[in-house]
Amino acid sequence: MKELKHLNKYLFKYKYLLLLGTIFIIISNIFVIIPAQVVRYSVDIITADVYLNNMFDGFDIQEHFGSIFIFNIVICALAILVMALLRGTFLFLVRQTVIVMSRHIEYDLKNEIYAHYQTLPLSFYRKNNTGDLMARISEDVSKVRMYLGPAIMYGINLISLFLMVIPIMFLVNAKLTLYSLLPLPILSISIYYVSDIMNRRSEEIQRSLSGLSTYVQEAFSGVRVLKAFVRENSSVQEFAKESSTYKDKSLRLTFVNALFFPLIMSLIGLSVILTIFIGGTQVINGTITFGNIAEFIMYVNILTWPVTALGWVTSIIQRAEASQERINEFLNIKTDIVSRQNVQKPIQGKITFDEVGFVYEDSGIEALDKVSFSVNPGESLAIIGTTGSGKSTVANLIPRMFDSTSGAIYIDDVDIQDYDLSNLRKQIGYVPQDVFLFSDTIKDNIGFGNGNLPEEKIVQASKDADLFDNISQFKDGFDTRIGERGISLSGGQKQRVSIARALVRDPQILILDDCLSAVDTKTENAILNSLKKIMIGKTSIIISHRVSSAKLADKVIVLDNGRIIEQGTNESLLASNGVYKELYDKQLQADEVEE
């Protein structure tokens, strides 16, 4: 129960619902107990009536007994009916309070987890896969809700019924009470084991089902590769194999399910037999009446479900504890990207890297080694280098996607770790290497994160990213939906939507991480030229494999294996006949071949 303590704050928040629920449970149980006593009374009347009937057989008074008997029985039947209706009403109210409370907490907990996910750094997302993140916010929260709703409800019900019914039973007859309750602990323990097996098997099925869905999803999204490599048949066979695992697991669960009810029924039957047998001998001894036996059978029935639920509830609590442990594990992770001084101010855009080093913690790869450079506001810097030379790492360090492992980075001569994080990021336009667009309209993809931007700004950004003409050709213009249920954009168009998204924020620093790779040199030139105009007084960093992206930049640095091997202007680097010149010549030749 240690992990579940996290939920106490929510139970406190909804304490009135919980308190009302408890009161309703107690009231509903009163309406369960009274009918048992009414039944005892009725049976005793019937026995007395049969006895008197036999005694006064042939007398006029016999008729009189008959009408009193019928009157009594009708009153008892009506009383039982009214109790059943009242019980139903209060059970409804119990669910409207306790189960409603569990749904409220489920909602709050999901929001808490999601909000916490948003505070965590990129390194957290690299370490944990998406499936795991989703499982904790959906499946684990559902399991925790089972504890907050049904488990708490049946738990309170069990305690209140035990406290109310068992003393009454003992008052009637202690020996009969002990015998009739004897099979119930066995019932509870067996249910615990059976429901544990059932839960484990259901989880196996769940896992197998999600494996099956992932397989199908990949097969559909990768259908082009699948067809191109003629893998249809093997895909069908693989699917049949996965399906068969799912079927076998389902059959294993069906087997345990089939055992569940016969087990409960036989143990309840055993209780009833014991009650009748022991009760019968007590009646013969004159210690109790026939009515008491009927009353006891009803009490046993009343206690059966809560006792059955005890095993089930224990298993739910154990599972909830395990799930909450997984949730707490994430909730206890705190982001290490924090601000030291919370500096909030408009930035000019001067960027300084001072002997910056970076090692990826998980792989131990040293991506940057003592990288130093400086760019002034209004300047543009091109970072050129081969694959894996550390260019994207530089780009990620500026908006503090992660922090450098050595050295320091300054913006306007203030250490970036001193800036308020959102204040800093809001002034940086970052276009990542892998374009990500949402299944939404082009307009909303460009305006992402910027609320209700005026249409003109979106249009202007799309013009600056050389995208406007493309969008105008679509029937719905900026309202065209992209993604799953909309049109597909070409690689170059996607890159330009992503650029427009950064430009629309009017950033003081713009970082383009190899995001012109899918556009032709003509479009690249058009975009770079418009950037020159809009980035006056602002800083731009253009990362690329292609030397063509660097020629308009004020400064160029060449990275190799995490180190700066050359830096200067396009002209000075060409003149110095080094790696940059070599790359330039190679790419020039390649372009000529293409033409």
Ligand X SMILES: Nc1ncnc2c1ncn2[C@@H]1O[C@H](COP(=O)(O)OP(=O)(O)OP(=O)(O)O)[C@@H](O)[C@H]1O
Q: Does 387 bind ligand X (CB under 6 A)?
A: yes
- The DSSP line for 476-523 is TGGG-BBSTTSBPPPHHHHHHHHHHHHHTT--SEEEEESTTTTS-HHH
Q: Does 28 bind ligand X (CB under 6 A)?
A: no
- Using CB under 6 A as the criterion, what x/- string covers residues 2-21 for binding ligand X? --------------------
Interface segment toward ligand X; rule CB under 6 A; list 24-32, 35-43, 221-229, 355-363: 355-363
Nearer to ligand X, 155 or 385 (CB): 385
Q: How far is Cα 319 from Cα 440, in angstroms, rounded to an integer? A: 38
* Shortest distance, position 360 Cβ to ligand X, whole Å: 3
Residues with Cβ within 8 Å of residue 374, at least 6 apart in sequence: 350, 351, 352, 353
Is residue 512 within 8 A of residue 542, CB to CB? The reply is yes
Q: In the structure encoding, which two tokens stand for residue 424, read together?
A: 């800093």
* Shortest distance, position 196 Cβ to ligand X, whole Å: 40
Q: Does 433 bind ligand X (CB under 6 A)?
A: yes
Interface segment toward ligand X; rule CB under 6 A; list 111-119, 243-251, 387-395, 415-423: 387-395
Q: Does 474 bind ligand X (CB under 6 A)?
A: no
Beta strands in 134-228 (DSSP E): none
Q: Does 432 bind ligand X (CB under 6 A)?
A: no
- Beta partners for residue 430, in sequence order: 511
Q: How far is Cα 462 from Cα 270, in angstroms, rounded to an integer? A: 78
Characterize the bridge pairing of strands 366-375 and 563-568. Answer: unpaired
Q: Does 125 bind ligand X (CB under 6 A)?
A: no
Q: Which of 392, 417, 462, 508 binds ligand X (CB under 6 A)?
A: 392
Q: Does 390 bind ligand X (CB under 6 A)?
A: yes
Unique residue bearing structure tokens 């001569």:
413
Q: Does 363 bind ligand X (CB under 6 A)?
A: yes
Is residue 480 within 8 A of residue 439, CB to CB? The reply is no
Q: How far is Cα 493 from Cα 519, in angstroms, rounded to an integer? A: 8
Q: Which of residues 528-587 bind ligand X (CB under 6 A)?
A: 545
Q: Which of 40, 143, 350, 391 binds ligand X (CB under 6 A)?
A: 391
Interface segment toward ligand X; rule CB under 6 A; list 198-206, 263-271, 382-390, 498-506: 382-390
Q: Does 323 bind ligand X (CB under 6 A)?
A: no
Q: Does 434 bind ligand X (CB under 6 A)?
A: no
Q: Does 365 bind ligand X (CB under 6 A)?
A: yes
Q: In the structure encoding, which two tokens stand for residue 26, read together?
A: 């107690």
Sheet with 366-375, edge to edge strand ranges: 366-375, 351-359, 406-411, 414-415
- Using CB under 6 A as the criterion, what x/- string covers residues 514-533 for binding ligand X? x-------------------
Q: How many residues does the chain have?
A: 595
Q: Which of 215, 360, 373, 410 binds ligand X (CB under 6 A)?
A: 360
Characterize the bridge pairing of strands 539-544 and 509-513. Answer: parallel
Interaction site with ligand X (CB under 6 A): 126, 360, 362-363, 365, 367, 385, 387-393, 433, 514, 545
